[in-house]
Amino acid sequence: MDITSNYFTSKQFNASKLSQSYYYHHTTSQTTSSSSPPFLHFAIALSQVTSTTKRLLKEQILTNILLVYLYYDRRKRNQDCCSCPTTTTVITSLEKNSMSSTTTLHATLLAGNVATHGYTLNIGFASISSSLCTSLQCSKTLLRQKIQKKGEMGDAAASIWSGSGVGSSGGTQSRIDGWGIQKKKRKCLEMRDMIDVISCINDMNQSNGDKGVEKRKKDAMSKIFSVVHHPDELRFAVKIFCNNMRTGATLVTVMRCLAAAHVLHKYNRINADMEEEEEEEVVIINENNNNNTYYFKVRPKKSNQNNRDCKSKIKQDIIHAQETFRSVYARHNDLKSCVVALVLGGMEGLLSACDVKVGVPVQPLLAAPSRSVEEVVLHYAENIPSSFAAVTSSSSSCGKGDDKGDNEENTVENRCITATNNTSENDASDDIPLLTAEYKYDGQRAQIHYQRIPSADDGGDDAQKEDMNILFFSRNLDNVTVKFTALVEWMKSRLQKLEMIRSFILDAEIVAVKRCCHQTNNGQGCSSSNAETILLPFQVLSTMKRSAVAAADELDMKRSSRNDDDDIELCIFAFDIIYLDGKALVEHVLIDRRKLLYQALSPIVQPGYFEFANSIDIVLNPTTDDLNSNSEAILMLESYLTKSIGPGRCEGVMLKSLYSKYKSSDTREKSGGFGGWRKLKKDYVDTIADSIDVVPIGAWRGNGRKNKWFSPFLLAVYDPDSGDFQSLCRCMSGFSDDFYKEKSIFYSNRLIETKSSVVSTNENPTFWFDPCEVWEIRGADLTISPVHHAGRGQMMGSAGEGISLRFPRFVRLRDDKAPEDATTGRQIIELFHSQSQRQNVMK
């Protein structure tokens, strides 16, 4: 019998027998001593996870295998202790770290997300497919065809492997038998092999200047590809390199499972201590007598009553552990240290070791899109906690800064309307603003960490700390400090004088600006009253160098024609504070956080360099059905939205309850409820959004779940002057599955052989369509494009090929229009000009 099926489908799994039963039959003698789990079981588990759509079942399977990894982890720790009698009870922190790093790595591999562990591979479709062709000895064409058919490279590779006879004898035997009885004695592929290769590839990115890196990366992958024994091993090895597992479970789920496995592991140990004979037994039962459903529980004890109590206790513990882990990880976004703390210190260890800390990013709060001002107001009004029920007045007392200049509006006095330290009390009185609206700046999110350098008498390694003084993290929590060196220097100089501030973590948006000064003070900047900060679009920001090396290169060698970064002025718009002077503020409500932000950092505010996000506060009536009682709030929001996208030159507004905490992991408050942030942009709102009527002119074939359909589509505007269809963008968002089905049939009957002479684009889609329909789409901005041709020939000496659309999405079919009635190139140019005027980028 196949031992994997034994493990995953039998009623019992005896972990004490791991060492004997856990490896391939035919390689037992070679691998018994290994401390790394076989890759096959990983692959089989993920294969099973992929083959169900049920989330609970996915979690059970993943918990199952993570439980095994925890056993491995502990067994290895025990071995290390035993083999070194003098340190039986003392494991150095280094060893501890490397141990649980392995667990972390196993978990990130299950999620197909080694980036979380700090690895960047810099390999993708091209190098993986090239390496596969070598290992499988197949042609590029064959692989491409298989990928088309399977919709995915890992599946394609597995399919080719199975059919090629490379690994199995094929023929009439089943797949499992095919690998199971294999004669050749090869090394069992282990998790460690995968980890070694990944770490090796990661290291190759460091050795810059070395020739032939691509080749060596391909060779490293081939090491794995050429020793697989089972198609699923190849399948998931490829998926890992692709960074896309498509199992229906990503890191979020894997972490839930890790927390669950930790609890089960702990219970199992307790049980084992009670009955030493059968140590480490976990029972997997199939209560529904349904082959697809598994439950974990500790081996049954004496009485049923006990057992039932125990079971519900475990269940509770699991839920608690999952919630705790999630919220801890949210404020201490360093998976390695969270897992180490959990595995070695349990829940207590996790909580004590992984608090908010300067230098470790906090998971940023994100905003859910909202479609109208009414929707927003209703949303927050509906969700006002009962402690605010006392607020009944409909009169509005805020927004008083609205008509004043930006700079005056940003003073502490105007902003700090209320600060209720004890919000759990039912002490809300009339006219307390519940909602705040902030400008949504079109820049780059940044979490700014600051730790004051200790003075010389404090001792310590100052030189090193100097480097870590200020850190910038991106929205995805990458360290982007080097990109913002100029801002770091500016902040350092400003903060040096602010001795009372020792540390903070800010939430902010960095925006490219043009500083207009009517009066300068010793070159440092502007006097507040006369200064104006003109916001520039995101594209300006995005042209900045990202590495110090590149910036130095540019400076020294002057080999680029691009503007030097010194020409790009940046402004920080701070809108939240997460940590201040040794204290985490994630449990503080926004109204208090904002007060602290203003108090602490007003001294460094300088227009065009460091500002607070523009905002207004709004009073809300608690109501569930009557919008009229909040009509004032609606009017205010409407005018503020208009202001933000007009004179404010922003994307729209952000909306936040002033009484919400900085926590995304309170599941109830994630994006809904009172605590969630919302965003309102012009292009979300039907009544004010521009829409564009375009003609589908081509498409590619979709990947993964869209494999049977055209996706994305290539869309074009019409230029009556030339009769051309000029591409505007690709589009893959906004289509329902039904629409995909319908249009896949529709357009497969309207394919044309080659690119039509009336089509103008730099794109080269797999399929060209006869332009015959009009679709309404929507997007955020128009940009000058290197690939799309919309408006071409009507531009006034601009760089690029034409104009394209940012964030395109399908809205609806316009069956009332013919292709010649589509939006014209000239109209696109007009839209572009009016937008550019708003954004101050035209000459």
Partner DNA sequence: GCTGTCTGCCC
Partner DNA sequence: ATTCTGC
Partner DNA sequence: GCAGAATGGGCAGACAGC
How far is the CA of 208 from the CAs of 125, 544, 553, 554, in angstroms?
22, 21, 14, 17
209 binds DNA (CB under 7 A): yes
d(CA 833, CA 470): 39
d(CA 108, CA 104): 6
d(CA 5, CA 291): 11
Closest contact distance (angstroms) between CB of 655 and DNA is 14
The stretch near DNA (CB under 7 A) out of 220-228, 441-449, 458-466, 524-532 is: 441-449
398 binds DNA (CB under 7 A): no
d(CA 697, CA 708): 19
Closest contact distance (angstroms) between CB of 466 and DNA is 23
Residue of the chain from 27, 30, 34, 671 that contacts DNA (CB under 7 A): 671
How far is the CA of 200 from the CAs of 84, 204, 221, 236, 607, in angstroms?
29, 6, 10, 18, 47
The stretch near DNA (CB under 7 A) out of 518-526, 634-642, 805-813, 831-839 is: 805-813
In the range 346-375, which residues lie near DNA by CB under 7 A?
A: 366, 368-369
Of 208, 311, 319, which Cα lies nearest the Cα of 260? 319
In the range 547-576, which residues lie near DNA by CB under 7 A?
A: 547, 549-551, 559, 562
673 binds DNA (CB under 7 A): yes
How far is the CA of 801 from the CAs of 3, 542, 710, 728, 778, in angstroms?
60, 19, 26, 11, 21
Strand-pairing partners, residue 285, are 295
644 binds DNA (CB under 7 A): no
395 binds DNA (CB under 7 A): no
Query: Closer CB to DNA, residue 204 or residue 344?
Result: 204
d(CA 227, CA 237): 11
In the range 95-134, which residues lie near DNA by CB under 7 A?
A: 115, 120-128
246 binds DNA (CB under 7 A): yes
250 binds DNA (CB under 7 A): yes
Residue of the chain from 63, 64, 253, 436 that contacts DNA (CB under 7 A): 253
730 binds DNA (CB under 7 A): yes
244-255: b or e for each residue (b if 16 or more CB lie within 10 Å)?
bbbbebebebbb
Closest contact distance (angstroms) between CB of 179 and DNA is 25
**E strands present in 676-814:** 677-681, 691-701, 710-719, 724-731, 751-752, 759-760, 767-769, 775-778, 782-785, 802-805, 809-813
Residue of the chain from 807, 820, 840, 842 that contacts DNA (CB under 7 A): 807
The stretch near DNA (CB under 7 A) out of 136-144, 415-423, 803-811, 823-831 is: 803-811
The stretch near DNA (CB under 7 A) out of 19-27, 305-313, 535-543, 639-647 is: 535-543
806 binds DNA (CB under 7 A): yes
Query: Closer CB to DNA, residue 248 or residue 349?
Result: 248
Helix, strand or coil, per DSSP, at residue 785 = strand
Helix, strand or coil, per DSSP, at residue 134 = helix
211 binds DNA (CB under 7 A): yes
Closest contact distance (angstroms) between CB of 186 and DNA is 28
Query: Closer CB to DNA, residue 495 or residue 795?
Result: 795
Residue 678 has a CB neighbour count (10 Å cut-off) of: 21
Tokens of 290: 């349904």
833 binds DNA (CB under 7 A): no
Closest contact distance (angstroms) between CB of 656 and DNA is 15
Residue of the chain from 156, 805, 829, 831 that contacts DNA (CB under 7 A): 805
Closest contact distance (angstroms) between CB of 736 and DNA is 4
In the range 709-728, which residues lie near DNA by CB under 7 A?
A: 711-712
The stretch near DNA (CB under 7 A) out of 277-285, 517-525, 624-632, 730-738 is: 730-738
For residues 786 and 762, the answer to whether their CB atoms sit within 8 Å is yes
In the range 9-68, which residues lie near DNA by CB under 7 A?
A: 53-56
Query: What single string gives the DSSP state of each residue in 505-547?
Result: EEEEEEEEEEEE-SSEETTTEE-GGG-EEEE--HHHHHTS--S
729 binds DNA (CB under 7 A): yes
Closest contact distance (angstroms) between CB of 113 and DNA is 10
Query: Closer CB to DNA, residue 317 or residue 683?
Result: 683
Residue of the chain from 25, 185, 215, 708 that contacts DNA (CB under 7 A): 215
HSE-CB for 314 with a 13 A CA cutoff: 24
The stretch near DNA (CB under 7 A) out of 4-12, 248-256, 269-277, 285-293 is: 248-256
238 binds DNA (CB under 7 A): no
d(CA 648, CA 650): 5
Q: How many residues bind DNA (CB under 7 A)?
A: 104
Residue of the chain from 9, 31, 164, 205 that contacts DNA (CB under 7 A): 205
In the range 770-799, which residues lie near DNA by CB under 7 A?
A: 778, 780, 783-788
814 binds DNA (CB under 7 A): no
Residues 6+ apart with CB under 8 A from 304: none
Tokens 């009169």 correspond to 395
How far is the CA of 768 from the CAs of 739, 753, 757, 787, 808, in angstroms?
19, 7, 11, 17, 20
Residue of the chain from 247, 533, 614, 824 that contacts DNA (CB under 7 A): 247
Strand-pairing partners, residue 679, are 369, 654
Residue of the chain from 26, 336, 670, 838 that contacts DNA (CB under 7 A): 670
Amino acid at 269: R
Closest contact distance (angstroms) between CB of 209 and DNA is 6
- From the number of C-beta atoms within 10 Å of its C-beta (0-12, 13-18, 19+), residue 102 rates as buried
In the range 446-505, which residues lie near DNA by CB under 7 A?
A: 474-476, 478, 480
d(CA 620, CA 634): 9
The stretch near DNA (CB under 7 A) out of 209-217, 333-341, 344-352, 820-828 is: 209-217
In the range 582-611, which residues lie near DNA by CB under 7 A?
A: none
The stretch near DNA (CB under 7 A) out of 84-92, 226-234, 245-253, 305-313 is: 245-253
Of 106, 247, 95, 255, which Cα lies nearest the Cα of 190? 106
Residue of the chain from 51, 98, 543, 837 that contacts DNA (CB under 7 A): 543
